[in-house]
Each structure stands twice: as C-alpha cells, then as structure tokens.
Amino acid sequence: MPEPRPQGEALLERKIAVVTGGGAKDGIGIGAATAIRLAGAGAHVVVVNRSAAAGEVTRSLIEDSGGTCDVLAADTSSAKDCEAVVGTVADRHGRIDILVNNAAISDLGKGHLRDMVEEGWDAVMDVNLKGMMLMSRSAVRTMSDGASIINLSSIAALRHSANVPLAYATSKGAIMTLTSALASQLGASGIRVNCVVPGGVWTPIAWRAFAAVMSPAEVETARERRRTSVPLQSEGTAWDVADAILFFASDQSRWITGQSLVVDGGHCINDPSYAYLK
C-alpha cells in the first residue's frame, strides 16, 4: 500500500512554487489567492508580477500569516525575463517544484473580428499564450519527477459571448491545448501539467470590467444575475480557483495530468434558457 500523503499545512512542505501574475491590485485576485493558499500549505512562494509593488502586497499578506515569499518583477511575454526569473529562483532555492502560469491580460484585442487591431491581438497572445510557453520552457530545466505545472484558462474558451474579447477567448482555448500537449511531452520526466478553467468568479478584475461600463447599481444587478445563472446558485471567488490549483500542485493529484478542471459552479452545464429560473 502507498504511504499516506501529507494533509493541510504540510501538503506542500519544502516545495518551491512560482506564481505568475501573483500580485494583489485593488484586492485579492486569483494569482494572489493562489500564492497565499500555496504558502499556507507549506510552500515557499515566488510571486512574479509586472508590478513589484503589487507583488509586495501579496508578500506582506503571506508573511503576516507566517509564510515565506519572494517577489520578482518580470514581463512573462519576454523570454529574457522568464530566463532571469528561473535563474534567480534556481540560484536561491535550487529548483522549481510548482509553476502556476496565471499572468494574463484581457483589455486588449477587443471587439468584433471586423474591428480587430493586429497589435491588440498580438499583445494578448504574447502574454496569455506565449508567456506560458516561455515560463514553462525555462522552468522545466529546474524541475524533476513530481513537479507540477498548472495553467489558467477561462470558460471564455468553452462558452462564447459577443461581449468577450476575441483574442482573450482564443488565447484561453489555446491554453487548454497547450496543457495537454505539454503533459504528453513532459510525462516521461514525471512532470504533471494540468489546467484550471475558472468561471465567472468575482475578483477585482471582474469588478473593474463591469464598473467601466456600468453604474454601481447596474454592477450589482449584473453580479446577482451571474450568481443566479449557475446551478449552485452562489458566487465563485478567487479562493475557489486557488483551492483547485492547490490540488493540482500537491501530490493529491500525482496520477493526473493533461486535464482541464472547470471551476464554474456548474455554469457550463446549464441550458441558458433556464439560467434565471428558480
């Protein structure tokens, strides 16, 4: 019989985890929540963020709870920056056990195909898709048997809407394919690669997106509609996504690779015509 696996705070004991897009800006989003969760499970977390100041907010939250964290400022769409991040982590800690590819942008590449601006499309693909490949390519050189890569997609890849930026939705679909391809390539090295696919969780990014085009009252109405549109009739948070990432980061998922786990309260299984009926 296999030995029982660690639980709770010891789940990631002595692991080195890198979380891209892990800064906290105007509140705790998926990246920051993930960094905090992994640190709480015993990992030493390296937060990688374009804004060092936002990364320092996450670090303070982790350290206030007794965890340990480094902050590195980097643009993950840059191969040079990705190599520098991995080099620094390797020099300080010797290896990377967990890579969470969370860094993404969504506010470029908006609009209908007829209005698509090439520069916006390229910017989204560079950060959301190429950035994952670059960070993974650099990180695997320091990874060994038992390591885990977790990529963040979105239900925008599964449920399409005219309101969702075309480049963003396309990049998130490609991330799911990238995940399965990397899992196939890296499996022989004992490196697992999985994907978490969040639904309409309420985060600072979601609030900013709604507030940019709605009054406060309209935001609350739209938020309630999102809540009631899912079978579980509850609102998802960054912590719900972080818990799924923690599962893939830990040995609890040691025999799972190449999978995409949808965390959406059941949104994708709903018939839209019944979305607001109770």
What are 134's two structure tokens? 């670059």
User: Binning pLDDT at 50, 70 and 90, where does residue 209 land?
Assistant: confident
Residue 23 CB partners (closer than 8 Å, separation 6+) = 31, 32, 47, 49, 50, 51, 53, 54, 55, 57, 58
CB 117 within 8 A of CB 166: no
Give residue 160's pLDDT: 81
pLDDT the model gives residue 111: 67
Q: Which residues pair with 149 in a beta bridge?
A: 99, 193
Known active-site residue 168: yes
Residue type, 157: A
**Pair 153, 171: CB distance under 8 Å:** no
For the ranges 22-31, 41-50, 77-86, 155-164, which has the lowest average pLDDT?
155-164
Comparing 19-23, 31-35, 120-124, 182-186, which segment has the lowest mean pLDDT? Answer: 120-124
Q: Which residue has the higher pLDDT, 194 or 165?
A: 194
Q: What is the amino acid identity at position 234? A: S
Per-residue pLDDT tens digits for 62-119: 999 999 999 999 999 999 999 999 999 999 999 999 999 999 998 655 667 888 889 9
- Is residue 196 within 8 A of residue 241, CB to CB? The reply is yes
Question: What's the rounded Cα separation, in Å, for the pair 51 and 71?
Answer: 10
125's CB contacts (< 8 A; 6+ apart) are: 167, 170, 171
Classify domain 8-201+235-266 by CATH architecture.
3-Layer(aba) Sandwich (3.40)
| CB of 240 closer than 8 Å to CB of 263 | yes
Radius of gyration (C-alpha) of the chain in whole angstroms = 18
Give just the sign of the alpha carbon dihedral 133, 135, 136, 138.
positive
Catalytic option among 77, 150, 168, 193: 168
pTM: 0.94
Measured between alpha carbons, how far is 104 from 168 in angstroms, rounded to an integer? 9
* DSSP run (H or E) holding 206: helix 204-211
Task: Give DSSP secondary structure letters for 114-129.
Answer: GG--HHHHHHHHIIII
For residues 145 and 148, what is the distance between their CA atoms, to the nearest angstrom?
Answer: 9
Structural domain boundaries in the chain: 8-201+235-266
The two structure tokens encoding residue 81: 């920056």
Give tens-digit pLDDT for 222-274: 999 989 989 999 999 999 999 999 999 999 999 999 999 999 999 999 866 55
Residue 164, classed as helix, strand or coil, is coil
